[in-house]
Amino acid sequence: MDAVNATARPASTAFAWSGKQKLALLALLAYTVYVIAQIDLSPARLLSGLHQGARFLSRMFPPDVGKMDVLWEGIRETLQIAVLATVGGVALSLPVGLMAARNMVPHWLCAGARGLIAVCRAVHPVITAIMFVKAVGFGPLAGILALTVATVGFVGKLFADAIEEISHKQIEAVRATGASFGNVVLFGVLPQVMSRFVGFATYQLDSNLRNSTMVGIVGAGGIGGALFSAFLRFEYSFVCTILATVIAIIVVGELVVNATRKALDV
Amino acid sequence: MNTTASAGSLHIQGLVKEYRPGVPVLKSIDLKIDGTGLTSIIGPSGTGKSTLIRCINRLVDPTAGAIWLDVGGQRLDMARLQGAALRHSRRHIGMVFQEYNLVERLTVMENLLTGRLGYLSAWKAWRRKFAPEDFERAYQLLDVVGLGSFANQRADALSGGQRQRVGIARALMQQPALLLADEPTSSLDPKTSVEIIQLLGDQGRERGIPVIVNIHDVELARRYSDRIVGMTGGHVVYDGPPAGLTDDHLQTIYGGQAWMQ
């Protein structure tokens, strides 16, 4: 290598931070400091919070096991909400996801379906649940509808993205046989994405199980209602029972979902 | 076995294809292909061989020109058909692909049955209600291509040569009047390539239908074709029997000569 070339090289910029990156980091730090100052985050407050927390925890024990009927009723509803919302939501996500895949449908239809999915995703399930409580009244139906919407928002998008990633060659071959659009979907698209679909659906069941314990807080059915009223009545020992049961259910649910995924090889 | 599907005859007139306006890949192609026989299309990469084949069954839409397919006393205007009429006419044209394009997660038998999808309503397809004679034909074809014991294997478990045999059997399931093959041997070893070309030629002769093959291997084309079409720059520059293909022609088609030594 001759010396002339070597000196003509620009200074190395490998791994260097760009001006914009430095600016962004600085802005984030400045905002964090500003917010801490704004909300009066002092060590004294944190310390008194710890004391309160310790008192609260001590009042949770021993757990109250005298209201098992209330607990059981709530848990039953929670499971119903989770399962029905997953089944309904996944069933709706199939056509919505297909319509939202840019490689399968005309642009206008795809834009519409993507918009629908975005709306379903934009609002948190608890807020959707409040709206459905207003619409259909208190009870599990509102929770089922709220979590169905959330499922379409999440699973619909995953379905659409999965369909967009499929191999076009296999589609082309099925089209070349003279197959109709429906038959291309059945024999060209679904075989390529089915196992991933089952995977998404089981994940969503897991997620709906968690969320269905929460929609009850706004009156949309499930164990969340009992939990919230126990809080309001300072029945912390019953709160403890409910929380322990919820945690147990989530863990068991996850084990079941994992076992299912393993059994289905997805 | 039933090989009496009517033979198609293909008449291409003034075919032009532009992917970008003003930049034609095919510059007015005229071709007439009928009767039995293996027609090989040779030419350098990017000269529009694949585009030509794909225009015939409309996986690619031509920009101008006519593609007539005469089959069973009917004249189909492949360049202009749309919707259901296009899908119905595609049933007469079998296609074999360079990378086999099998549905990987389906079995060999299921892949063969997809060749019948043009004749099945979505409702029947959903319930997998293929006609019993479709299964019968599929088993016969698996024997023909030498994969009799592979019916229930998944396609992604097969070797390249086996996959291409499944691809050919799938195309033959359509009982096509015309068989197209887009570089069917380019991903295969030399021995398998010969077997695949022979299989295509034999099946074409047995069924009395024309077979059109894009191919890169000039020697293979010479040995097994009844007719060779040489293309370069979007034009047909040679059309005749393999014996008539001289080094001068090849130089016109591919340019240069170092590769011929």
* Residue of B71, B101, B130 for testing the chain A interface, max A β-carbons within 10 Å: B101
Measured between beta carbons, the chain B residues lying within 8 angstroms of A188 are 103, 114
By CB neighbour count within 10 A (0-12 exposed, 13-18 middle, 19+ buried), where does B113 fall?
Answer: buried
Q: Which residues of B touch A178 (CB under 8 A)?
A: 87-91, 117-119, 174
Cβ contacts (< 8 Å) between A175 and chain B: which residues? Answer: 59, 90
- How, if at all, do strands B227-232 and B210-214 pair? unpaired
Contacts of B90 in chain A (CB under 8 A): 175-178
Question: Hey, what domains does chain A have and what are their CATH numbers?
Answer: 68-264 (1.10.3720.10)
**Cα A10 from Cα B192, distance rounded (Å):** 53
Gap between the Cα atoms of B10 and B33, Å rounded:
5
* A194 in contact with B, Cβ within 8 Å: yes
Ramachandran category for residue B94: left, alpha or beta (phi over 0 → left; psi -120 to 50 → alpha): beta
pLDDT digit string (tens) for B188-203?
A: 999 999 999 999 999 9
pLDDT for position A65: 76
> Which of A176, A182, A195 lies at the smallest CB-CB distance from B90?
A176
Amino acid (one-letter) located at A91: A
CB contact under 8 A, A177 and B105: no
pLDDT of residue A18: 86
What is the C-alpha separation between B8 and A158, in angstroms, rounded?
44
Taking phi over 0 as left and psi of -120 to 50 as alpha, with beta for the rest, B6 belongs to beta
Query: CB-based contacts of A190: which residues, under 8 Å, 6+ apart?
Result: none
pLDDT at B27: 93
**Whole-number average pLDDT of chain A:** 88
- pLDDT exceeds 60 at position B260: yes
Contact with chain B for residue A179, Cβ under 8 A: yes
Residue A73 has pLDDT above 90, yes or no: no
Q: Name the pTM for this structure.
A: 0.81
Confidence check: pLDDT of B179 > 60: yes
Contact residues on chain B for A184, CB-CB shorter than 8 A: 117
- pLDDT, tens digit, 9 for 90 and up, residues B152-174: 999 999 999 999 999 999 999 99
Q: Is the pLDDT of residue A172 over 90?
A: yes
Nearest to B171, CA basis, from B185, B158, B161, B181: B181
DSSP character at residue B57: T
Determine whether the interchain pair B126/A195 forms a contact, defined as Cβ–Cβ distance below 8 Å.
no
What's the pLDDT band for A266 if we cut at 50, 70, 90?
A: low
Average pLDDT over residues A124-135: 91
Name the residue with higher pLDDT: B23 or A11: B23
Give dist(CA B214, CA B98) in Å, integer: 9
Q: DSSP code of B154?
A: B
Q: Is the pLDDT of residue B4 over 50?
A: no
pLDDT of A140-154, one tens digit each?
A: 899 999 999 999 999
User: Are residues B222 and B19 in contact, defined by beta-carbon separation less than 8 angstroms?
Assistant: no
- Asked if B87 and A179 come within 8 Å (Cβ–Cβ), the reply is yes
Taking the C-alpha atoms of residue A30 and residue B185, their distance in angstroms, rounded to an integer, is 63
Question: Which residues have C-beta within 8 Å of that of residue A197, sequence separation ≥ 6?
Answer: A94, A159, A162
Torsion angle of the four alpha carbons B156, B158, B160, B166, in this order, in degrees rounded to the nearest 10: -90
pLDDT tens across B25-44, in order?
Answer: 999 999 999 888 999 999 99
Question: ipTM score of the complex?
Answer: 0.91
